[in-house]
Structure 1
Amino acid sequence: MAEGTPVTPTAPIMPTAPPASSMEQGSLPPSPTSPRAKRKSSTEHSLLMCDVCLEMYDNVQHIPKLLLCHHSFCESCLHKLIGTKDYFECPTCRQMTTMPSGGVSSLQTNFYITYMRDVLINNTVDQPMIVQSGEGCIKHSNQPLSFFCKQCNIAICRDCTVLDHKEVDGHAVQDTWDALNELHNTLTSEVNNARTIMKTVECYIQTLEGEVTNLYGAKEAAIKDIDSAFTQYITLLETRKQKLFLDVNAMYNDKVLILQRHAEDIQEKIINLNTTLDNMPTESTTDDSTLDTDNKENVPSYNPATTGISDLIIKRSKISDTTKHIEKLMSSHRVPTKNYIQFDSQQGVYGFQNALNKLGVLLSEKSLPSIVEISAHPATAGLPSQATVSVYDCKNTPLPKYAITADITDPWGDSIETSTLENDNGTYNVTYKPQVSGDHRIDVKFLGYIIKGAESVISVSSNNPVALIGQKGSEDGEFLCPRAVAIGNDDNIYVADTGNCRIQKFSPDGNFLSQFTVTSDGENNSTCDLAIDQKSNLIICTEIFAYGSSPSSGNTVKVYTSDGHLKHEHTNKTLKCALCVACNSKGGVIISDYIVNSLFMYNGNGTHVKKIGKYGAQSGQFNHPAFMCTGPHDYIIVTDTDNHRIQIFDDTGEFLFEFGTYGTGKGQFRQPFGVTTDSNHILVADSGNKRIQVFKMDGTFVSIIDSQGMPLNHARGISVTNDGHVLVADRDSHCIKKYKYM
């Protein structure tokens, strides 16, 4: 082979270590275990090899394909890893990549890897890269290619630097590994720049796709507007048509009336004329023979004095007047002569056509939303929350007064009701009330259509206690298995401290005020519930025999003053376990018997009025009824604990409706206990699910207080304050927990 003749490349050029001192020129290349060979192998692996199969990238079977996460793998490996799936998890970063419709082959080829490979094994822009055979310089006895000429873009040996690539001749020579590192750094910079450009392009493509989506929404909205407008136009045309119908009929009736009246006038004169003519002498009585004066002697009855000359004159005059009047009527100008009714459509059509040409104008002068930013304010389950949506066109110009709305979906997959307020500056406040905690998805809409890419995740925090009252113990302000809490008309808080056999009183902010014992004949007598008569502020509670925290029997109701003085008590031996109590606006008392599975109604005088229900699962039946409260119209609301539902009765005890089933979903229960109401809501202590649920008065689910930061532990009685808080007697946490729920 002639000196300097180009050689077809068969493998990528990689630098080699210089020979050891004992090696002669033309000897074998250094061992692959040498430091320089290891560096060479590492570089090849990181730059030109697939991380899965460790094969060198090529342009046939191992084509480098670029994933969305910007990691590359060969096409062959991707085919094996993906199989028949339409998505792929990157082996390096685990990011999911959805396969395009064309499969792996349609993924973007990583041209920067192929470019680097071409730089190493092919010719460059203007100057061919001379690839030496083997690992040495073909011009100088296979000497190691330890240097690189930047001007010639070629790997050279030591002799080349002296003979053919002198620095004095303008050649820039550097160590081969320095050249490779420089090339690697340059390539890395180019790759990073390309990735940045790709991200920018992806964002731009998303913007364009969003424009297409928004354009479709604008088109659909325009079609609806056109349809609505033309429906109105048609209505107006129909109204105009009916008006013309009325006008035609009115014109016809007016003309007919005039003609008929004129004809009647003439007819009346004709009748008069006929009557006059009928009374005139006939031709037989007035012929010439009768009136012939020459023959008067032949008419014995003729007497000029009696022939009625004056009558004839009068009749003649009457006939003359009548005929003249008839002629006058017939020639009268009061009679319309232009009675032809026509509809001139030509003039109307011309004007209508001109109007139609101007009827509605299609405009394309406003920009579509292209950039949407979503900023979510801190959100808590059950409380009103807000997110701010900023909308811009493709030039970052704010877009105010656009039809922007939002959909919010909670972790259960349910849509949350939202309302949107425009701020006149391109920002929109989206107000919503999350029902549960967890990640919520917000999708921004334009004209009712979701803007592509305009989405975000809102993290909704658990509704945790804002305050605690008490702790486990027997001192003042401490509790042992508290089971009920009530609010007096003085806003003070009363707690049934069951384990300590007492009722404790606290100020509205939770400071201990006083306490009194609920017992009469032994330390095991206590109470599981209490109710406050809002008129008299009397404390009504049941006395039960409690072993530890579990009630077993009781048939007595006690009434105390607000400072703890026993006013009176009532015992009913029909009761087996009088567990809970409620009072209505009339002073009546309702008691739930946990064992008899019934409610007992008493009037304000303590007289038993009615027994409600029995054991069973039908409507109006119970399986361990527990806490109660009274709502609007003195309706009785009771937790049917082991039927896992809420039942509502009217003020006479007649069943109205129920809601709830067994389960962990929204509106479902696992042993509900405490129940209370405000003016618009029913709140239930869903004890088995360790949460409080809020409902509308008709049983429609509203929200959940899940208290994940401080879980409920057998929640029992609950009560609401006037400022939107609910107090929960958390039995096995030995405290009262206070939550904000509205």
Structure 2
Amino acid sequence: MATPQKKLERILESLVCPICQDPCKLPKILPCNHMSCKSCLESWVAVRTKLICPQCNVEQALPSSGVSGLPDNFFARQISQDLQDFAVDEDLLCECEKHDELVTRVCQTCLLGVCQVCASEGHANHHCFDAGSSWRFIQERMDKLQAELKGRKEESRMVLTSLRQMKSFLDGKYHTAQRNIAAFKENLLQKVQELEEELNDELENLYKEKVAELQVEMEKASDFERNVHEGLTSYSQIENATSSGKPCALNTATVQSFSKLKQLSSAPFMPQVPKGFLNLEFKPGLQFKFNPGEDCQVTCLPIPLDKIEVEFLHSQNSPVQVKTHRKLQFRLILKSSEGLTEDADLPAVTANIHSPTGQSKDIGAYRQSDGTYMTTFFTPAHVGRYKMEIRIFNITVQNSQQEMLVQPLGTHVGDFSGMEYPWQSPSDIVQWNKQILVSDLAKNQILSLEMSGPRKGVSVMFSEVHSRSMSVYNDFLFICDPEANAIMKYSLHDKSLNLIYRHSSLESPRGVAVDSKGYLYVSDWVNHCILVFDEKAKMIGSHGTWGISEGQLINPNFLAVNSKDQVVVADHGNHRLQIFDPVMDSFVKTIPVREDEDSMYCCGIDVDTNDNIYISACSVECSDKLAIVVYTKDGTFLSAFSQGLHDDVDGLCITNNNCKMYVAARDSGTVSCFDLVAN
């Protein structure tokens, strides 16, 4: 059952004017039975020259006397006044500490209760609300903060889950490494045992070979000794016969003995001993040599990664500036305990590349003849900050990280202008699906161009629409109309007007952007601030005041929203970018926009999916000097390029794949296309 407070809120919402989004003042009833403020309807009809219901978008009959001829809704006016009076109970209001006045208003900028005097003096440039309706603003802000905190809680839970998974994975790796060490030990002991058996076998074979050689020589020596003995015996017999004085018959045996003695006397006295016969030892050539590639799957000696340093040779500057494919040269230096250094010659060297999207991949590295290493070609697919680290056997070398800033190519590939393309003064460009939508200030049209660029792809999507800038969200097109001081929300499917964002404090809207939650941000060129609307076109806050300090603005121009739902503002008059966090209602960063040390007026702005920021700008000193200036999300300058730009550059658009950029030039009636990364 609804509470009285909820019922009161529903009644108040039914009395809200669909144009100004405030309670109806002098409400008029249209023939369709919807109602709106008299003054709002008069402005509405003056712009459109006919009466179209701002709520149901149906054309109505307009009396001859104009809006004044429509019937008054006296009952709604009385109820609205009574409920507004009922919303503020002066008995509950406190007195201002500075003035003798009741605190009847709340300053949104300072989040303080103020009296009427404070609101007109110290808080004159701030946005103040009646005390009766301020609770709604506070409640909406608290709801956003609560949603943000819930998101952070969920994010922390996911991080904790990931850390626990990493701990479990690390434990598994640790136990696997222990098992590998034990297996390595067993494998190594087995190899040593096999080698011992092999060495003993080789030693035994060598010993047998030497003994066999020695046995042959011993047999030779024995034969010689026996022959000498037999010869000497025969000689003694002949000598005895001769000494007795008896004649000796020279028989056959005597002749044979004589011949044998003669032969023995001419033969060597000792057999020949082979050279190296006694060199039986453990030869160095038989030492154990461990070959990990053939004998085992583990490394025998550990690589001293803690003593290896990486020296990049490309330049002395860090990070490296890269545009297209590039090789990186480096040296691996091995430091000894005595402080001496030498070039290391190591296998399995790779480089691991981390892209701005969080993805990583390995590229190879090879050793050159001069001892240095060279990576294979690295071709970046995104603009922004990359990180590279050197790995050996898939282990990261300490202090080997190298940053690379990939700059956009900025290559001008063509213009869409002339008779082939029916726009005269393009002011802004957005992408919807595979189409580029171009707003034409001269013709009051929104045109559609197929991204491939053939003439048959050009068509008129909306007519009688005055658009200074645009934004696309969930198949809806938000058009900034400075003549009507409003933002128009159109459906891109049925091309119908869906909603109008308007507020009395909005005087000159210039830029428009929508975040992921559907909140709309509008830059006000005259009031130097950013207004915030919810998805029901209710203004719920603002950011910035006139000034040159951080968080202050002068003539804010186009807007963009990054992946964190932070609003990036082209602060035209201060020649800089400013980043706000609407959820925390806080200022984040200021980025001065310069090119060759010249300050630049900021015009169009867009961010890619990696939150790199692109700005179309012109020099403060020379209006003919134009440039596209690019920064990373943290404000680091990436590059600036101007070739191919035309006079009076305005809105620009980065395609969803971050590969191309389209730039509008009002004065020349041209839409230019640029390549950002190498194909």
What TM-score, normalized to structure 2? 0.40
Larger radius of gyration between Structure 1 and Structure 2: 1
Task: Between the two structures, name the one with larger relative contact order (CA 8 Å, sep ≥ 6).
Answer: 2
